[in-house]
């Protein structure tokens, strides 16, 4: 397995909608294993394929390092589709491996229902709430070309501009590999 450099704010692939996966191939399984290794190395809880430069509609979630989720097993979401969003919204501070050191309050639905393929190409539907739902929605956003700055008010986005410029120019101190200019 390999630790891949993470794409960061300003990398064009993060603003593009990803392409659906047509089949689960050996190459895709290797990519997913590399994504898991990369996410663990960066101490993340989720990672989308385009965050490592791969234009596939895939993301992974692993919450076992989070209090209350110790028995969680990693989940691979292939070609996910959000079917339902709850009317109840919750605002919580979020971070992102593609936005090193940046944190911002983001409003998201408290509960969702999502359909996806697993690595056996079986269709799965699950309901998720609380932190699990938030991570799914955050990673799903990556697949549709959205990031935290796209989900906050103009006032908050304005306050983030200096940090965003530093990230875009790679002038951030971070202990995991990121893409180069």
Catalytic residues: 139
Bin 8: left if φ > 0, else alpha if -120 < ψ < 50, else beta. Answer: beta
147: Cβ contacts below 8 Å, ≥ 6 apart: 9, 14, 96, 98, 99, 141
Tokens standing for 11?
Answer: 């990398």
């Amino acid at each position: 397995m390999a630790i891949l450099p993470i794409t960061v704010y300003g990398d064009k692939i993060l603003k593009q909608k990803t392409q659906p996966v047509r089949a689960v191939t050996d190459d895709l399984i290797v990519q997913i294993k590399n994504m898991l290794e990369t996410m663990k190395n960066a101490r993340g809880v989720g990672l989308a394929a385009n965050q490592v430069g791969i234009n596939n509609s895939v993301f992974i979630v692993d919450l076992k390092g989070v209090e209350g989720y110790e028995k969680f097993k990693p989940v691979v979401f292939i070609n996910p589709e959000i079917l339902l969003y709850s009317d109840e919204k919750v605002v919580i501070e979020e971070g992102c491996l593609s936005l090193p050191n940046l944190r911002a309050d983001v409003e998201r639905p408290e509960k969702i229902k999502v359909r996806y393929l697993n690595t056996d190409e079986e269709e799965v539907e699950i309901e998720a709430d609380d932190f699990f739902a938030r991570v799914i929605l955050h990673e799903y956003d990556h697949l549709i070309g959205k990031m935290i700055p796209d989900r906050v008010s103009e006032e908050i986005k304005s306050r983030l501009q200096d940090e965003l410029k530093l990230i875009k120019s790679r002038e951030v101190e971070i202990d995991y590999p990121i893409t180069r200019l």
